[in-house]
Structure 1
Amino acid sequence: MKIGFVAFSIAAAVAWIVLFYFSAQAVAAMGLNAAGPTFFAQFGHPWRAQFGADFTIHLLFAAAWMIWRSPSWILGIVFAVLAINFGALFTLPYILIAAWRGGGIESLFVRPARGR
């Protein structure tokens, strides 16, 4: 196994743990229902709007990538919805599992054959 892939896997796992901690703190303090209004309210500030737009575009492109590389459209759409709603909490494990199954990071850029 390549050292770069191991380093990537460790970094992604640590990032997921940190994000999970902050997400758990947010849910405990404000509840799940506050996520949407809090996110969209930040579009009133120019720099927060820039960050929110950047983040939204990133999520949409990550979701499109998941649909593209998924072995079935239905599974791809399920993954895309999870990525959009859960962000890196879903995307990081998806990337790690896909890379491990494919044998390395390079496999993330190859579209598996669809079973149709």
Structure 2
Amino acid sequence: MGGLRLLLVAGWLALAGYTGMVIARHGMDLLPIFLGDIARGGWPGQFNADFLCFLTLSALWTAWRNRFSPAGLALAVVAFFGGAGFLLPYLLYLSVRERGDVAAMLTGRG
């Protein structure tokens, strides 16, 4: 479990640093670029469409894990728009809360 937690922290730190750099260089105008790449039909758009599927699955899993409660639905919105920036610390939190029980982390049934 220590290795997973280290990976989650390292991944989040790397992502936060990279995101900060991109925002500093290009601003916060992500959606037109993201959706524009999809509309153009090239490989960047294919990657974005694939990533959009992962964002959707992450949001659905987050809502399901929280039994579609109001808090779970709010977390699902954050998961969809936050991506790994949300999911990495959320999984770290769950790993601590569930004392390393991966089944409880993933299903919410501990």
Q: How would you bin the TM-score normalised by the shorter chain?
A: 0.7 to 0.9
CA RMSD of aligned residues (A): 1.7
Gaps of 5+ in 2: none
Counterpart CA distance in 2 for 1:65 and 1:23 is 24
Q: Which residue number in structure 2 is paired with residue 41 of structure 1?
A: 36
Query: Aligned ranges for residues 1-116 of structure 1 at < 5 Å?
Result: 5-32=1-28, 34-43=29-38, 44-70=40-66, 73-104=69-100, 105-112=102-109
Gaps of 5+ in 1: none
CA displacement, residues 16-62 of structure 1 (integer Å, 9 cap, x when unaligned): 00100111111112222x11111112111422222111110101111
Counterpart CA distance in 1 for 2:80 and 2:88 is 13
Q: CA deviation at 1:76?
A: 0.8
What TM-score does the superposition give when structure 1 sets the normalisation length?
Answer: 0.84
Counterpart CA distance in 1 for 2:34 and 2:94 is 29
What TM-score does the superposition give when structure 2 sets the normalisation length?
Answer: 0.88
- Runs (4+) of structure 1 exceeding 4 A deviation are none
